């Protein structure tokens, strides 16, 4: 979501300057690539580029293709075959082995539902959204292609509704994408086009409980990641806006009242690091009654064991399904010592949990980094 926010900001500046621009979106991938479907690059006619669709190898050609899209005022799908070792331009030098499909769309500044405006709508709240983009190499299907609309969670749309037969098939698929929380691809054979049904989750919301000096690098790293950051503490001399990045939300509160002041969803993570046993204990007790997918606690395992014993003495037993989401001690084992290193360990673990990844060495992983079936195109001809 951070890249999307950067593209939106760049578009707003281009709009004010009157620049023409085109959006390049990686809409499909066969094999491996530095970036995955959903990567985006905004290019304007002044030569500015925001975002990325590769590690830098495709951006030069992407600039030229974007200029062509701006001039023609028509979207265009371009296929890059990086598996061709005889291609000295993007093949052997790229180091990947995939077929990359990139859709270039000129941005109409007067279109209320142009691709950037749709991204703005998706980024405006913490709701889950699905962005539907059609793409085709077939001349018969090219009039359909482009970033079309957003499905909201109730399956209402924002944007341009396509013809009914396409829309109904996409709506059925969108229900599955919301259920799986994973993007999908659909071959709409009868219309000679394919659909990238892109799941757009909200950014991770990191609630740092504790405003001490060691919370500062954690908040800064989370902001670099594009996460929403909330810093909570009962001590108003520490929980001050000037101590943290401007985007941080600061909450001064007693632990029993904190959760009522926050929006908690499936992308919310809590880190308990006040160094105050009673405050952390009260927060742990409150969190154990909520559906929170990640709770991490700074400190040794003995501290956590003592907390569980104290809660048991109160008659408050944390169920196993909740205990499985608590990480104490917090973080991945990377040999962290300094506050900055500890922050890196914590950020890495949270990313691994929400990414459903084990957090090990990639060199030890058998097979490719990403599962190839994640970009399989489902075959559909039930459109008539």
Peptide bond into 329 cis (omega under 30): yes
Higher pLDDT, 1 or 349: 349
Exposed / middle / buried, residue 161 (Cβ in 10 Å: 0-12, 13-18, 19+)? exposed
In the prediction, which pLDDT does 35 show?
87
Phi and psi at 373, nearest 5°, equal: -70, -15
Q: Is the pLDDT of residue 76 over 80?
A: yes
In the prediction, which pLDDT does 85 show?
58
pTM: 0.88
DSSP symbol at 203: P
In the prediction, which pLDDT does 125 show?
87
- State how far the Cα of 58 lies from the Cα of 135, in Å rounded to an integer: 19
In the prediction, which pLDDT does 315 show?
95
Strand partners, 22: 43, 106
Instruction: State the Cα torsion 36-179-159-46 to the nearest 10°.
Output: -20
- Which residues have a Cβ under 8 Å from the Cβ of 341 and sit 6 or more positions away? 334, 335
Sign of CA dihedral 50, 54, 57, 59: negative
In the prediction, which pLDDT does 384 show?
39
The DSSP result for 162-189, as a single string, is --HHHHHHHHHHHHHHHHHTS-EEEEEG
In the prediction, which pLDDT does 383 show?
40
Query: pLDDT band at residue 92, thresholds of 50, 70 and 90?
Result: very low
Helix 215-224 crosses helix 339-354 at what angle (to 10 degrees)?
A: 50
> Tens digit of pLDDT for each residue in 213-242?
999 999 999 999 999 999 999 999 999 999
Phi and psi at 48, nearest 5°, equal: -80, 140
- State how far the Cα of 83 lies from the Cα of 98, in Å rounded to an integer: 5
Instruction: Enumerate domains of the chain plus CATH numbers.
Output: 2-200 (no CATH), 205-357 (3.40.50.720)
Token pair for 30: 């066969």
Q: Is the pLDDT of residue 208 over 70?
A: yes
Q: Is the pLDDT of residue 86 over 60?
A: no
Q: Is the pLDDT of residue 190 over 90?
A: no
Q: Is the pLDDT of residue 110 over 90?
A: no
| Sheet with 228-233: strands ordered across | 249-252, 228-233, 205-209, 268-272, 294-297, 326-327
Q: Is the pLDDT of residue 97 over 70?
A: no
> Tens digit of pLDDT for each residue in 265-318?
999 999 999 999 999 999 999 999 999 999 999 999 999 999 999 999 999 999
Query: pLDDT band at residue 65, thresholds of 50, 70 and 90?
Result: very high
Report the range of poorest mean pLDDT among 46-55, 226-235, 272-281, 343-352.
46-55
């Amino acid at each position: 979501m951070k890249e999307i926010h950067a593209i939106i900001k760049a578009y707003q500046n281009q709009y004010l300057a009157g620049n023409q621009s085109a959006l390049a979106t990686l809409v499909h991938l066969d094999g491996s690539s530095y970036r995955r479907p959903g990567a985006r690059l905004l290019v304007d006619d002044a030569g500015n580029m925001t975002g990325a669709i590769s590690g830098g190898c495709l951006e030069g050609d992407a600039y030229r293709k974007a200029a062509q899209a701006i001039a023609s005022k028509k979207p265009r799908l371009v296929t890059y075959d990086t598996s061709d070792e005889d291609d000295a331009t993007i093949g052997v030098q790229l180091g990947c082995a995939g077929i990359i499909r990139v859709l270039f769309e000129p941005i109409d500044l007067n279109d209320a539902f142009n691709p950037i405006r749709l991204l703005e709508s998706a980024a405006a709240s913490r709701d889950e959204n699905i962005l539907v983009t059609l793409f085709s190499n077939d001349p018969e299907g090219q009039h359909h292609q482009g970033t079309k609309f957003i499905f909201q969670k109730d399956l209402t749309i924002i944007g341009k509704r396509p013809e009914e037969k396409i829309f109904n098939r996409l709506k059925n698929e969108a229900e599955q994408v919301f259920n799986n929380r994973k993007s999908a691809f659909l071959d709409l054979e009868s219309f000679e086009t394919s659909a990238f049904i892109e799941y757009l989750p909200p950014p991770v919301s990191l609630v740092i409980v504790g405003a001490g000096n060691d919370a500062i690098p954690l908040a800064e790293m989370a902001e670099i990641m594009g996460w929403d950051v909330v810093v909570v503490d009962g001590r108003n001399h520490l929980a001050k806006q000037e101590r943290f990045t401007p985007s941080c939300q600061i909450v001064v509160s007693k632990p029993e009242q904190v959760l009522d002041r926050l929006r908690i969803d499936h992308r919310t993570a809590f880190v308990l690091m006040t160094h105050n046993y009673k405050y952390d204990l009260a927060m742990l007790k409150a969190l154990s009654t909520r559906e929170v997918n990640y709770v991490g606690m700074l400190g040794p395992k003995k501290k956590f064991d003592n907390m569980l014993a104290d809660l048991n003495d109160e008659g408050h037993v944390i169920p196993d399904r909740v205990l499985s989401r608590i990480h104490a001690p917090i973080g991945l084992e990377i040999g962290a010592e300094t506050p900055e290193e500890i922050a890196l360990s914590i950020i890495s673990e949270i990313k691994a949990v929400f990414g459903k990844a084990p957090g090990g060495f990639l060199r030890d992983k058998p097979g490719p980094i990403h599962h190839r079936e994640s970009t399989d195109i489902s075959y559909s001809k039930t459109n008539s």
